[in-house]
A and B are shown apart, each in its own frame.
Chain A
Amino acid sequence: MNDDRLADLLRETDRALPPPTGRPDLAARVRRRAAQHRIVRRTGGALAAAIALALGATFAFRAASHKAAPPETPMRPDAVQVAIADSQEELAQLRAELDQLRAEADSTLAIIEAVKTQQQQRARAAAIAQASSDPQEQIRQELDRAAFTIVYQADRMYRELGLKQSAIRDYRQTIELFPGTPAAQVARERLTQIETNQGDQL
């Protein structure tokens, strides 16, 4: 059997068989399948991402828990003794440092108290010195205060109670007793005003 005969046989066989039959709307069906594949791919991608995230979180949590609680290895007796000796030395050292700090704090407090007392004494001495430095000035201030009080009372008698004669007497008394004070000047002005008022009424 040569090649041409074989080719003829193949073609005859192909022609003898019924042609394939397909359903209509192939293009629409292909598009529908493409859309379904897209949905499946997207859903699958999201699902895979969620699973990967969950696995990653699980592994991270496990790693963190392993780091947080490392396995404890038992210590040998000689190592325990060394550790105890080291800790006693550290304890003694800490106590000495504590005592030293306490002593420093006490001395600092004593210094502060001494400085405070000294400052109070100085303030008191300064007040006494200021008070006793100028007795004439102090007397002058007292005289001014007394003269002002008399003039104030005379003003009230004249304006609020209408006791003109008593007010005139107090003004004149202020001028006589405290002649150089500002209140004496005020008393003079009040007397002038009263005399002017009497002249206007006449």
Chain B
Amino acid sequence: MECLVRAEPADFDRLVATHRDRVARLVYRLLGWSGDVDDVVQDVFLAALRGFGAFRGEAEVATWLTAITVNRCRTHRRKLWLRGKWFANVLKGGDAIPDSRQATDLDVCARVRQAVQALPARYREVVVLRYLEDMPVARIGEVLGLSPNGVGVRLHRARAQIKLVLGELPEERT
């Protein structure tokens, strides 16, 4: 932590080596298991490099990087929307949610993936952080700037939307 505050080049290399895989995985999940992961990861560490001086060391490095990653993923989605890729994808039907008949032809993982992709970003963030990153609710609130109650509300709504999409799935898989 002290080394980060001093912002030495070797410290930055160590930071990248330590957190690179975790950040890349988080980006991959936040973008719905698709997208330009490498570019966003670069953006995350670029922001971390710029923020070296401003990082006060009050939070854990992992939490700090997670907050940066969430913000960069939001920025990336905004850029995609502005470039019209979102509409292009919708027109191609690549990431669109299938109706129930089409969904029966897909396996469960693909349906879950599409359900998560269909979530609004604010709900997807809490789902990824809670269930895939196993982060406590309090820390999710710290990362997203929300109260624990706010995180709980978002989780509840996200689960409801996913259940709505996955309603016809069998209860147990063998």
Contact = CB atoms under 8 A, between A and B. Distances in A.
A binds B: yes
B123 interface: no
A27 B33 CA distance: 23
A30 B51 CA distance: 13
Contacts of B163: 1, 6
A33 B12 CA distance: 14
A29 interface: yes
B42 A10 contact: no
B30 to A, nearest CB: 11
B31 to A, nearest CB: 9
A14 B108 CA distance: 12
B39 to A, nearest CB: 10
A33 B42 contact: yes
A129 B172 CA distance: 154
B29 interface: yes
- Chain B contact residues, majority secondary structure: helix
A23 to B, nearest CB: 6
B37 interface: yes
Interface of B: 9, 12-13, 16-17, 20, 24-25, 27-29, 33, 37-38, 41-42, 45-46, 49-50, 108-109, 112-113, 116, 127, 131-132, 159, 162-163, 166-167, 169, 171-173
Contacts of A27: 12-13, 16-17, 45
Interface of A: 1, 3, 5-7, 9-14, 16-17, 19-20, 22-23, 26-27, 29-31, 33-34, 37
Contacts of A16: 109
A22 B24 CA distance: 8
A6 B159 contact: yes
**Max chain B Cβ within 10 angstroms of own Cβ: one of A7, A26, A33, A34:** A26
The interface centre, meaning the residue of A6, A16, A23, A37 with most chain B CB atoms within 10 A of its CB, is A6
B131 A7 contact: yes
Contacts of A6: 131, 159, 162-163, 166
